[in-house]
Amino acid sequence: MSEYDIEHSHGLHVVHDGPRQAPPLLLIHGSGASGGFWSPMVPALVGHHHVIRVDLPGCGQSPPAPPYDVPAQAGRVAALLDDLGLRHVAVGGHSSGGYVATALAEQRPDLVGSLALISSGPSMDALLRQPFILRVLLAPPLGPLLWSRRSDAMIRRGISATAARPVDVPDDVVAGLRDTTYRVMRTVLRRNTAYIAERSVPERLAALKVPVLVIFGAADPRWEPSSAHRYDAVPNARVELLPGVGHLPMLEAPETTSKLLLGFTATGR
């Protein structure tokens, strides 16, 4: 497997893998992350899909470009898909990337054929007390001081703190997070909170007619794992809990996560 095309479109850094004639699969990362988080899954996915990974504005290799509210992010992704001439795309989102995927389906149901939400908390009351290193890095008074001084090792510790098992964090993931500013990160987090505070994700999905796969780590330290079953109320939704996996199934269990995603995109169930 090798990257065969990298482009910039509507302020988004976009990486294409796999044959263009294959069914498209769009992957959207979570808060402050980048398309590199999907890298361990790409080798399994490209045998079946044209995989499209985006870096949202201010994240990874995409430059800052406000506003950062979820509907605006979804609008940028919709413009990208329009430029590519794609419709009825399988869309996967990790964590808050699932909110962008949901908003895309709300705005443009013609673009979304199915939705896979990985570690996407359903509502704010499911949020757990965050790991200590994240609380220090993301909140005043220390956050603004420490953020710009983060070493690669500290970035890796911050990522690993959301996992339930040891993970190998790709270098491009570290580089992408290093370039994300504290202001962008805090703004993105606030906008994501506002989106699910306004209306829960299961409630939003229940109003849509799209097949949904929900993958959740049974040991997720960021969101209450049992909250994944709130998605059971969504018609055409299937919920999969991964034992011993935390918030990062793509890094912690890429084979299992890829298998679930491929089975879903092949059947819509």
- pLDDT value for 4: 56
User: Residues 6 or more apart from 233 whose CB is under 8 A from it?
Assistant: 202, 206
- pLDDT value for 114: 97
- Is the torsion defined by CA of 76, 82, 86, 87 positive or negative? positive
Residue 197: both structure tokens together: 């505070």
For the chain, 269 residues long, give each residue's pLDDT as a single digit of tens: 345 577 888 889 999 999 999 999 999 999 989 999 999 999 999 999 999 999 999 999 999 999 999 999 999 999 999 999 999 999 999 999 999 999 999 999 999 999 999 999 999 999 999 999 999 999 888 899 999 899 999 999 999 999 999 999 989 899 989 989 999 999 999 999 999 999 999 999 999 989 999 999 999 999 999 999 999 999 999 999 999 999 999 999 999 999 999 999 998 77
User: Residues 6 or more apart from 237 whose CB is under 8 A from it?
Assistant: 205, 211, 212, 213, 214, 231
The 8-class DSSP code of residue 49 comes to -
Q: Is 15 exposed, middle or buried (0-12, 13-18, 19+ CB in 10 A)?
A: buried
| Cis, bond preceding 141 (omega within 30 deg of 0) | yes
d(CA 166, CA 152): 17
> Does residue 21 contact residue 50 with C-beta atoms inside 8 Å?
yes
Torsion, Cα of 175, 177, 180, 181 (10° steps): -110
Q: What is the CA radius of gyration of the chain?
A: 17
Element (H, E) at 80: helix 70-84
> Does residue 89 contact residue 115 with C-beta atoms inside 8 Å?
no
- pLDDT value for 5: 75
Element (H, E) at 117: strand 112-118
88-109 burial by CB neighbour count: b if 16+ within 10 A, else e? Answer: ebbbbbbbbbbbbbbbbbbebe
- pLDDT value for 249: 98
Q: How far apart are the first and last CA of the chain?
A: 27
- pLDDT value for 6: 79
Angle between helix axes 182-198 and 97-107 (nearest 10 degrees) is 50
